């Protein structure tokens, strides 16, 4: 079957422009996320301090995501995204030069990460609401899957960029001796150029008021009822609500990315500088490799008519792989198990996003995405902090396997929720 028949969303020129620019930018973002973890680990040697990065990132996102949702449903989403990408590039430049100067402190990193999170609070809702407008509605499941493929591809390439930057630093290829993480920050700043150019080429993307009901906000005080309306939609639409809550609890308990720098040293017993940096990059890449493989497989499969069952089973598998990873002491086995966590998480994500988008009208998508972002972002971020705090007192192994076991329990509970388990996509033949 021709590629465009398998992936019909790629027939849309505007979508191709958007997804290409987004891929390059996201590669830099992923590399920077891992670099910050490594930098804080090297500065402090404390898993709780690394977990604190997640709190610094998620707090402003929790406070501002709903505002971002209102903005996405009221303004040109393309202009919002343009502003966001420029601001994120500026933050990366500052982070790079502060690191090069060698004066950066832990609390300064936390402040930069918090600013990054505040800006990203306006990115997710506008991005999520914009994608369905770039393709015909019947091609939306294809677009959601392609989005996942590109995000997972960036998850693979981001750690590779990180490892390459470490290699450049250790090899001394620059006249100035730059720290590896500083090189990553500079690369990320440059990676925003393609997405800025892509957004510049796209047409305006304003909310659809074709149903004849004008809900534009003209006074600040009108924003609160607008947010309440989005909350009521999520609360009353059981399948959307259950997708969000399940995602939060699964990632809260089973997410332990913040512990990977310590897994390298304390569980895999890899201590050399070059060796530990390489092992860290390989572990980070393994999650993404599994995610990418699952995304590619999902891209060429029809979304099942009852996606809720696939979501719950994928969450259960995510927990099982996490438990097994906790007891591995050999790098290749750990990489395979982490790939399993990435694959199962991706299957769940693709199915959840498809269900949420199809169950939400266009004028509500920005706010729905904002509420979804509250759960999707806060779950793994708070989970990283929880894992770091637990690891400080019980060790990394217990913190990881207990979280995986809790994730399996959450999946079992939701298997008993018929609203999600038996949800059917109308017209699906899968």
Asked, for residue 191, whether it belongs to a domain, the answer is yes
Provide CB contacts within 8 A for 38, sequence distance 6+. Answer: 162, 181, 261, 277, 280
Asked, for residue 189, whether it belongs to a domain, the answer is yes
Q: Is 430 helix (H, G, I), strand (E, B) or coil?
A: coil
Asked, for residue 37, whether it belongs to a domain, the answer is yes
- Comparing C-alpha atoms, which of 348, 335, 333 is closest to residue 407? 348
Asked, for residue 246, whether it belongs to a domain, the answer is yes
* CATH number of the domain where residue 33 is located: 1.20.1250.20
pLDDT 10s digits, 370-404: 777 778 777 887 888 888 889 888 889 999 999 99
Predicted structure pTM score? 0.72
Asked, for residue 234, whether it belongs to a domain, the answer is yes
> Which domain does 261 fall in, by range?
3-204+224-421
Contact 356, 240 (CB under 8 A): yes
Give the model's pLDDT for residue 215. Answer: 60
Report residue 24's pLDDT band, with 50, 70 and 90 as the boundaries. Answer: very high
Asked, for residue 193, whether it belongs to a domain, the answer is yes
Provide the token pair at 264: 């390298």
pLDDT 10s digits, 51-65: 888 889 888 888 887
189-200 average pLDDT score: 93
Asked, for residue 75, whether it belongs to a domain, the answer is yes
Q: Is 219 helix (H, G, I), strand (E, B) or coil?
A: coil
Nearest-Å Rg of the Cα atoms of the chain is 21
167-195 average pLDDT score: 78
In angstroms, the Cα distances linking 126 to 74, 76, 396 are: 10, 9, 37
Distance CA 416, CA 31 (A): 39
Report the domain count for the chain: 1
Asked, for residue 398, whether it belongs to a domain, the answer is yes
246-266 average pLDDT score: 85
Contact 353, 144 (CB under 8 A): yes
Give the model's pLDDT for residue 344. Answer: 92
Report residue 209's pLDDT band, with 50, 70 and 90 as the boundaries. Answer: low
């Amino acid at each position: 079957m021709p590629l465009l028949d398998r992936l019909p969303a790629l027939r849309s020129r505007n979508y191709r422009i958007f997804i290409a620019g987004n891929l390059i930018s996201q590669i830099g973002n992923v590399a920077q996320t891992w670099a910050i973890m490594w930098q804080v680990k090297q500065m402090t040697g404390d898993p709780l301090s690394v977990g604190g990065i997640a709190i610094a990132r998620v707090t402003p996102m929790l406070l501002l995501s709903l505002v971002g949702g209102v903005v996405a449903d009221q303004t040109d989403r393309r202009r919002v995204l343009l502003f966001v990408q420029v601001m994120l590039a500026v933050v990366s430049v500052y982070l790079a030069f502060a690191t090069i100067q060698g004066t950066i402190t832990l609390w300064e990193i936390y402040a930069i990460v918090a600013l990054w999170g505040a800006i990203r609070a306006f990115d997710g809702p506008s991005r999520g609401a914009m994608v369905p407008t770039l393709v015909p509605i019947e091609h939306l499941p294809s677009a959601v899957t392609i989005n996942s493929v590109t995000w997972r591809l960036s998850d693979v390439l981001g750690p590779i960029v990180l490892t390459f930057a470490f290699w450049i630093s250790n090899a001394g290829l620059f006249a100035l001796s730059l720290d590896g993480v500083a090189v990553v920050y500079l690369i990320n700043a440059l990676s925003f150029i393609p997405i800025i150019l892509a957004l510049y080429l796209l047409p305006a993307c304003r909310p659809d008021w074709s149903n004849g009901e004008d809900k534009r906000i003209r006074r600040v005080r009108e924003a609160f009822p607008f947010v309440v309306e989005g909350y009521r939609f999520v609360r009353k639409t059981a399948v959307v609500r259950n997708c969000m809550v399940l995602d939060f609890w699964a990632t809260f308990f089973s997410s332990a990315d913040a512990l990977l720098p310590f897994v390298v040293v304390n569980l895999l017993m890899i201590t050399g500088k070059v060796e530990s940096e390489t092992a860290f990059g390989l572990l980070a890449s393994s999650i993404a490799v599994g995610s990418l493989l699952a995304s590619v497989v999902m891209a060429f499969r029809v979304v099942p008519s009852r996606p809720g069952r696939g979501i719950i089973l994928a969450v259960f598998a995510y927990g099982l792989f996490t438990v097994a990873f906790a007891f591995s002491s050999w790098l290749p086995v750990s990489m395979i198990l982490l790939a399993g966590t990435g694959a199962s998480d991706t299957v769940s994500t693709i199915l959840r996003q498809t269900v949420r988008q199809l169950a939400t009208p266009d004028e509500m998508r920005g706010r729905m995405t904002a509420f979804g972002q509250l759960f999707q972002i806060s779950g793994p971020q708070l989970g990283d902090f929880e894992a770091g705090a637990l690891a400080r007192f019980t060790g990394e192994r217990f913190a990881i396997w207990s979280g995986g076991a809790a994730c399996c329990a959450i999946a079992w509970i939701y298997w008993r929720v018929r609203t999600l388990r038996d949800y059917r996509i109308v017209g699906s033949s899968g």
